[in-house]
Structure 1
Amino acid sequence: MDVDLIFKVAAIGIIVAVLNQVLIRSGREEQAMLTTLAGLIVVLMIIINEISYLFDTAKSVFGF
């Protein structure tokens, strides 16, 4: 696992948390929820790509 992946996920989490707090404090709870949901989707897409790469590597190692 690459350390850059951990930093990417952490950076997205920090940005989403700050945006979430700013939007909640300004009274825009709906936009805050959508921002959190968008951040979650972005992180899931990054992780799904890494899991796909892991399975491809395992396939090539074991010859499936």
Structure 2
Amino acid sequence: MNSTFHAGDIIATMLFLLFAFLIIGAIIIFFKRVSDGAKQQKEISTKLDTLIELLKNKQ
């Protein structure tokens, strides 16, 4: 059995780990942006509801 590591094996492993971390990071950033967008959308709808109530009270 040959248990030595060649330079190509080490480079391939490092590249695989690099891409794995990049993909995980991209997924985390994507879900953070989606949740931030949902928060902003909720804030906007709350502000619109407040404006509608103010306009109704004014009439």
Give the TM-score taking structure 1 as reference length: 0.55
AA at the equivalent of 1:35: T
Question: How many matched pairs?
Answer: 39
Matches within 5 A, 1:24-39: 26=4, 28-39=6-17
AA at the equivalent of 1:45: I
AA at the equivalent of 2:39: V
Partner residue in 2 for 1:48: 26
Which ranges in structure 2 are unaligned for 5 or more consecutive residues? 45-59
Query: Structure 1 residue 27: deviation in Å?
Result: 5.1
Identical-residue share of aligned pairs (%): 15
> Which structure has the greater CA radius of gyration?
2
Query: Structure 1 residue 31: deviation in Å?
Result: 1.2
Which ranges in structure 1 are unaligned for 5 or more consecutive residues? 1-25
1:61 aligns with 2:39: yes
Higher relative CO (Cα under 8 Å, sequence separation at least 6) belongs to 1
